[in-house]
Chain A
Amino acid sequence: MREQRVLDRSRPPAPGPLRPFHFPDVRRRRLENGLEVIVAENHAFPVATLDLVLPSGGLAEPEERGGLASLTAGLLESGAGGRDATQIAEAVDELGLALETGISWDSSLVGFTALTSRLEAGMRILADLVIRPTFPRHEVERIRDERLASVVQRRADPASLADELNAHFSFPPGHPFGRRLGGPESTLATLTREDAAEFHAAHYLPAGAWLCAAGDVTLDGVSALAERYFAGWAGAPPPPRAPETEVPFDRTTVILADRPGSVQSEVRVGHVGIPRTADDYFAVTVMNAVLGGIFSSRLNLNLRERLGYTYGASSAFGMRRLPGTFTISSAIQSEGTAHAVSEMLREMRQMQEEPVSDAELADARSYLAGTFPLALQTTDGLAGKLSSMAVYGLPDDYYDTYRDRLMAVTAAQVQDAARRRLMPHRAAVVVVGDANALRGGLDALEIGPVQVIDPSDVLT
């Protein structure tokens, strides 16, 4: 053993003086065409992110056109404003733009991060992509085929297959959230350039959309660029759909997808979650941290550090404008699978039955509050916060008071959140693994019916 001198190492050192933290000021300006510019400045690096965010995402597409919102966003760089796909790619790479196109259930996003000196050149390309895409037929086919291939590829991956089955069984039949955001194979295969052009014409419109800018920029600077490059763009998209969301199961149900010879089981315990604007957002967030949101959470310490069944176990709420998902995820060694499932459900029940300890509460709150600034180091991360504010209608001081509101959550609120938001008795338990090896153990748990399924019968 190595010798120690005067220093007392036996207890953790006390913290130094607290250093102040403030979320950057959020500044907004609405342009004549209804587009709202939202800016948060950070001049630490000569870098900025500009994200054009539209309030139409996966929920805006007709059910028989599943995958259309995602396909449309993916096709913007396939031809726009007089340039073909190759010319756009060259222009983007010439400027070193980190271009991003993508969607959520609630929004579509086209944006980029670049050195400040290339902001205006990037803006010119961004405006072309948003306002003047051409959807060339051969590119539509190519991108669609790429996505169909990736559906096939994902289903061979037990973790992705478990995720897809989890979504399917967490929502009632026919609910859009029950399928992949990128679209099921059955509808994706039918999409055409006309579909994409039509979706674009109806939804890529300025009134109600936002230009979120973060980093080495100012409100005046970004507004001037927006006025110049989004001039002549006008119109408003229809409001988003709001399908009813019911919990599909009366009792917990095990869905076992056979993957013969698997050395591990991918396990998901899932059910309907909460909307992003739920009044108990902060209590739910702290509750989830204690349950499975951090390394030192109950699920991970139990299934990994105590039982050694897994490399890790976690839980998460996927929040949306409408109630989203709650999911526990883990890859469990085959022999421990049934026991692990019963432990997951028991941990959920325990969150409801007993208040969390003072220490767990304090730890989870300060973890969430302390790590919050990490996401703000990059302009991209900061712009992401602005787009959340925009899409979910959060007030301007929301992120500046975010840490205080986390720190104010009580043990009683956490228990209440667990009672309201966890459903251990009505969950879908998806297991992707070797059915022969697992069936007996899952039956013996007597937590509910066990259905052995063929994923290709269920997933369209």
Chain B
Amino acid sequence: MQIPIERYTLENGLRVVLSQDHSLPIVSLNLWYNVGSRNEVPGRTGLAHLFEHMMFQGSQNVPDTQHIALVERVGGSINASTWLDRTNYYATLPASHLELGLWLESDRLGFYLPALTQEKFDNQREVVKNERRQRVDNAPYGDWDERMQRLLYPPDHPYHHSVIGSMDDLDAATLGDVRDFFRTFYAPDNAVLTLCGDFERDEARRLIDRYFGPIPRGPGVPPLPGRPALDPLHLGREVRETVASAVAVPRIYVAYRGPPYGSQEYYVADVVTELLAGGKSARLYRALVRERRVARAVAAFVLPVVTGAAALILRANVPPGHAPAPVEEALLEELGRLAEQPPAAEEMERALVSVEARRVLELQKVNERADQLSMLTTYFDDPDLINTEMDRYRAVTGDDVRAFVARHLSADNRVVLTYVPAAPAPAAEAE
């Protein structure tokens, strides 16, 4: 399977990636801005995400509440998300409405500020505070990533705070902050535009030129605040936190710092998570869940972040009424085994086949393909990685795995975050 790619750069610095696929009459339009919560200054956590909400509140030629409505009314779906390193905006439209999508995206890039009002800002601030309440404050384990980021990255690192931000900082944000944020980061030379799906190449190039060509370059993006480099890479000690909160089942998160996304070792880390908890044949599921039954559910993943250090994270649910310590012990035992001895060839092959199959299944969707192309261009200036990244996984050997686990998954590079039920068990609780 080979995904076709054409890339070029407009005079104003906007990088464009085109990938045609005529199998369904739909087209995905995907725009990445190279700005995320890592760019926020102290006292303004959550601003990048709050700003993303404001991008849906209209621009000079698009009335309030109409940005999404204009897409929905032609049969398109649209959304956006903010992450540590970036902010992405994406829509999938009927192919005949490609121009509408380009008009909307270019209007909020080129003609945004005149439409900004205090009233819209006050409304979206409340919406975002409610998003925080729903996802973080009122949900069991909802603040795990906020806590984990705080424990894993030092106070002056751009990943120390969460994407959603604190209530205090959201309250303190002003319309002036929104204006400054836009002027600083929302410029064609700080963005990547990808089209994937059913379009004609020449027509698409003409339209992109027409709508995005006249938008001038930005003033240049300031360096990241704080100290984004992590030297040494490792934590240097074990960090532990236990949280008593409104959960019914204890849960453990164990995390390590590792080389960022883009390094060859990152791919090793991803294979390690596959070996540990990718499928039901993986080590943690087999040993902790199926055979020894000390844990109820396990997961392992790497945060694909590019600034300083990525994080390899393990998660396990403890059976209700049981103590978390034996689960932690069993988990670390499995890591110890992998640090001692490389996995057998068949086990490596299973992990790699699973990675490959999952990638192919994901890439069936035009929006997923477009998002990955934008990502690879934003982070590495290399959209072709979508076709060659599997080679990097294939290059990982059993010895690489053992060496990675021994080097990085060590006690002095570990965060252990444990949730335990705060109150006596509710009446409905079993055991």
Contacts and interface: CB of A to CB of B under 8 A. Distances in A.
Contacts of A1: 60, 111, 113-114
Interface in A19-46: 19-21, 42, 44-46
A296 B74 CA distance: 12
Interface stretch (B144-152, B255-263, B274-282, B390-398): B274-282
B248 A153 contact: yes
B354 interface: yes
A2 B73 CA distance: 28
Given A156-B249, A370-B76, 18 more contacts: A12-B70, A19-B94, A44-B364, A46-B360, A47-B360, A86-B281, A96-B358, A152-B428, A157-B139, A264-B134, A295-B68, A295-B72, A296-B68, A309-B126, A331-B138, A369-B75, A370-B74, A379-B364
Given A13-B103, A15-B96, A85-B290, A2 B77 contact: no
A115 interface: yes
A19 B139 contact: no
Interface in B50-86: 60-61, 65, 68-70, 72-78
Nearest to B351: A93
Contact of A263 (B74, B126, B133): B133
Nearest to B285: A89
B364 to A, nearest CB: 5
> Helix, strand, loop or mixed for chain A's interface?
mixed
A259 to B, nearest CB: 8
Interface residues of B, number: 99
Interface in B106-133: 106-107, 110-111, 113-114, 122-131, 133
A192 interface: no
Contact of A155 (B25, B279, B346, B428): B428
B26 interface: yes
Given A12-B103, A86-B281, A97-B357, A4 B296 contact: no
13 contacts: A1-B114, A12-B104, A21-B25, A47-B364, A92-B279, A92-B281, A93-B279, A115-B357, A152-B320, A296-B72, A304-B127, A369-B75, A379-B364
Interface stretch (A61-69, A126-134, A360-368, A417-425): A360-368
Given A17-B96, A89-B281, A374 B26 contact: yes
A333 B127 contact: no
Interface in A50-102: 77, 85-86, 89-90, 92-98
A113 interface: yes
A308 interface: yes
A9 B249 contact: no
Q: Which 4 A-B pairs have the closest CB atoms?
A: A370-B75, A96-B357, A308-B126, A19-B25
Most buried by A among B249, B346, B421: B249
A378 B249 contact: no
A309 B111 contact: no
Interface in B315-363: 317, 319-320, 346, 349-351, 353-354, 356-358, 360-361, 363
A51 to B, nearest CB: 15
A456 interface: yes
Contact of B100 (A15, A42, A95): A15
B290 A142 contact: yes
Given A90-B281, A98-B358, A311 B127 contact: yes
Interface string B374-398: 0000000000000000000000000
Nearest to B123: A308
- For chain A, which range describes its interface: under 10, 10 to 19, 20 to 34, or 35 or more residues? 35 or more
A44 B21 contact: yes
A114 interface: yes
B356 A96 contact: yes
B140 A156 contact: yes
Contacts of A5: 214
Contact of B428 (A10, A371, A380, A456): A456
B430 A153 contact: no
B96 A374 contact: no
A156 B247 contact: yes
Interface in A245-304: 262-264, 294-296, 301, 304
A20 B22 CA distance: 11
B111 A21 contact: no
Given A96-B357, A362-B73, A377-B24, A16 B97 contact: yes
Interface in B180-207: 198, 203
Given A10-B61, A86-B290, A153 B138 contact: no
B111 A9 contact: yes
Contacts of A185: 428, 430
Contact of A4 (B110, B282, B430): B110
A4 B214 contact: yes
Given A86-B281, A152-B430, A333-B130, A373 B25 contact: yes
A310 B293 CA distance: 40
Nearest to A363: B73
A152 B429 contact: yes
Interface stretch (A143-151, A315-323, A385-393): A143-151
A164 to B, nearest CB: 10
B430 A149 contact: yes
Nearest to A459: B428
Contacts of B125: 308
A206 interface: no
